[in-house]
């Protein structure tokens, strides 16, 4: 998926506030938005962590298109000047954001397809790679690959004055051959380990009952009740009282499900056992109504009843 398309999908799913949140990077990665231009991942990580995304969100949430355009122009200058990012990548980031905010009709894709967004081949916070002596001038920047404008990716080790490949056999102690790994091989291993750690953290968050309840509320607001019910059920199975209370309300009122007062009563009862005072009042209200449904004074509370209404009902009907 193109980066601008994935960015638009993230905004539709999570709202404009996602521009200032780290989950934007996870969402874009899940959509494989960085496959074509890998360096854009570092660019968008910087936009989020350095506060640029928050500034864009502030202006966009106020509906101020002119301020958004001015800040997009500022972003085109700030990324190269402050972070030494390539200009074509910086322009592409600003174009994508402007495009999904509706203040620009098209985007210009970058020419660079490498992994490092920095103009000089390495980001300011990273150390410059070591070069083989005599192979290139340290002050001349990275060597260009023949026939292209992209820096040549080259960081092999040197063994006895000769470049070694990604894996070189050299003479070890006692004459026993040993294998030396190149620097890029170690870098790849560290990236894989970091990705695995991030995956574990994401899975833990997604499996958290509080997140599942929050996601269910989002889906309810979009009237996607089937998906919301699934999230509430997952959270309820972990003992989340808010999710149990929400399920009780849905079944009591028939919101997104077939009305079932018995099921509603069971959800309220489970939440009550876990210490929810709101669930206790709703349980008592619904139980009394089911025992004497013709009573007008003690009819069940509506699902959106306030705490004051519940307390008044409690004192009148129990």
Q: What is the pLDDT of residue 267?
A: 93
Q: What is the pLDDT of residue 203?
A: 55
Can you tell me whether residue 256 is helix, strand or coil?
A: coil
Query: Among 223, 251, 253, 221, which Cα is nearest to 236's?
Result: 251
Q: What is the pLDDT of residue 299?
A: 59
Q: What is the pLDDT of residue 95?
A: 94
Name the residue ranges covered by the structural domains of the chain. 3-100, 209-317
CA atoms within 13 A of residue 293's CA, in its CB half-sphere: 2
Q: What is the pLDDT of residue 64?
A: 81
CATH of 209-317, one of 3.40.47.10, 1.25.40.10, 3.40.800.10, 3.40.50.410: 1.25.40.10
At 229, list the tokens. Answer: 């019910």
Query: Among 53, 14, 51, 46, which Cα is nearest to 30's?
Result: 14
* Whole-number Å distance between alpha carbons of 219 and 206: 15
Q: What is the pLDDT of residue 63?
A: 83
Q: What is the pLDDT of residue 292?
A: 66
Rounded-to-10 torsion of CA 244, 202, 41, 181:
-170
Give me the residues of the chain with pLDDT under 70, please: 120-185, 196, 199-207, 292-318
* Whole-number Å distance between alpha carbons of 286 and 262: 9
Per-residue CA distances from 231 to 17, 162, 212, 224, 318 (Å): 22, 59, 5, 11, 33
Angle between helices 65-83 and 87-100 (to 10 degrees): 160
Please, which residues bridge with residue 68 across strands? none
């Amino acid at each position: 998926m193109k980066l601008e398309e994935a960015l638009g999908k993230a905004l539709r799913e999570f709202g404009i506030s996602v521009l200032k949140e780290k989950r934007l990077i996870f969402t874009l990665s899940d959509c494989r938005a960085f496959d074509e231009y890998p360096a854009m991942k570092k660019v968008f990580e910087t936009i989020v962590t350095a506060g640029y995304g928050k500034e864009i969100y502030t202006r966009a949430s106020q509906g101020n298109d002119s301020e958004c355009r001015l800040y997009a122009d500022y972003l085109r200058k700030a990324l190269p000047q402050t972070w030494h990012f390539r200009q074509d990548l910086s322009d592409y980031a600003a174009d994508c954001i402007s495009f999904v905010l509706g203040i620009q009709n098209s985007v210009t894709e970058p020419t660079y397809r490498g992994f490092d967004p920095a103009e000089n081949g390495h980001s300011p916070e990273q150390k410059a790679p070591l070069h083989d002596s005599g192979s290139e001038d340290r002050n001349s920047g990275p060597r260009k690959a023949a026939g292209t404008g992209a820096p040549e990716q080259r960081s092999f080790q040197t063994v006895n004055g000769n470049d070694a490949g990604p894996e070189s056999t050299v003479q070890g102690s006692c004459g026993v051959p040993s294998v030396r790994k190149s620097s890029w091989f170690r870098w790849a291993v560290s990236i894989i380990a970091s990705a695995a750690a991030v995956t574990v953290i994401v899975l833990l968050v997604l499996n958290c009952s509080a997140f599942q309840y929050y996601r269910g509320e989002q889906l309810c607001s979009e009237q996607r009740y089937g998906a919301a019910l699934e999230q509430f059920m997952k959270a309820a199975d972990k003992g989340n009282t808010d999710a149990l209370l929400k399920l009780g309300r849905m079944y009591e009122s028939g919101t997104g499900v077939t009305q079932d007062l018995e099921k509603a009563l069971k959800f309220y009862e489970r939440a009550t056992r876990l210490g929810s005072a709101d669930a206790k009042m709703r349980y008592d209200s619904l139980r009394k109504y089911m025992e004497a449904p013709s009573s007008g004074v003690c009819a069940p509370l509506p699902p959106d009843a306030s705490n004051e209404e519940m307390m008044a009902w409690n004192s009148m009907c129990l």
